[in-house]
Structure 1
């Protein structure tokens, strides 16, 4: 598991890193979020409902992502830079940078202003960095 600078992980969060989890700089993860990076093998399994083998699929959360409370992120998910994930969402697959997603399964419901985001990033205006420096 790798976690960048100025990352906040809320209370009650559960990260199952068997398959690998990368969390980029400046990301905020809300309370009670669960991230899975592996799952039981059930296709062509030796037993039902699954067998003793585990299929690993890394999870990547890029820089400056905001993940709301009670989100579930499944194995193999890739969340692009600057995304916002609405509370209670179930995230699968790949989410394009600057997307705002919500729901089960999470679907794109909007997008961030990429130019504004880029300007703030160039100015190094990362929330938890500013909070740590006392410049808020």
Structure 2
């Protein structure tokens, strides 16, 4: 058991060294990172596990004091699909940066689409798919995510 914990700590430390981060930041060992040099995680924030996929020309910025739950998908890139004269797999991808403000809680299994800004203090409930920017201190749930209340 002690050896298993040590291995988990080593893996987490190696992942943390690959991203730009603040003080007292933690990344769970099950977190998958793509283009980690384009990922920024603020002070006192925790990414439990999931997928942080930054494109080569886009960034993921997570603010201070954020909680990112397990199986969260944050992707700054996705496939183009609007040209009917081309197969989808021939249309390439587009990228837009994602910003998550300070003091946010992103619940289990949330998906955040490219170009989204999660407002400061927002809560996104488990399983939501965020397709539009969120207001500061709003609580969001559903597919697509909709505002269901205010935090304060």
User: Which TM class, normalised by the smaller chain length?
Assistant: 0.7 to 0.9
Kindly indicate whether the alpha-carbon contact (under 8 Å) linking 1:58 and 1:75 is maintained by their aligned counterparts in 2. Answer: yes
Residue 14 of structure 1 aligns with which residue? 51
Distance, in Å, in 2 between the alignment partners of 1:16 and 1:46 is: 28
Moved more, 14-23 or 46-55: 46-55
* Equivalent residues in 2 for 1:87-102, closer than 5 Å: 87-102=126-141
Are 2:108 and 1:84 equivalent residues in the alignment? no
Change in CA separation of 1:45 and 1:20 when aligned onto 2, cut-off 3 Å: farther
- State the match for 2:41 in structure 1: 3
Equivalent residues of 1:16, 1:37 under 8 A apart: yes
Cα offset, 1:54, TM superposition: 1.6
For residues 47 and 3 of structure 1, what CA distance do their matches in structure 2 show? 37
Length-normalised TM-score, structure 2: 0.70
Say if 2:147 is the partner of 1:105.
no
CA gap of 1:38–1:46, structure 2 versus 1, over 3 A, is farther
**Contact 1:45–1:51 (CA under 8 A) maintained in structure 2:** no
Q: Residues 20-76 of structure 1, C-alpha deviation per residue, up to 9 Å, x if partnerless?
A: 111000110000100110111222376312425221111110001001101111111
Q: Following superposition, which runs of at least 4 residues in structure 1 exceed 4 angstroms of deviation?
A: none
Aligned residues: 112
Map residues 52-91 of structure 1 onto 2, 5 A cutoff: 52-91=91-130
TM-score in terms of structure 1 length: 0.77
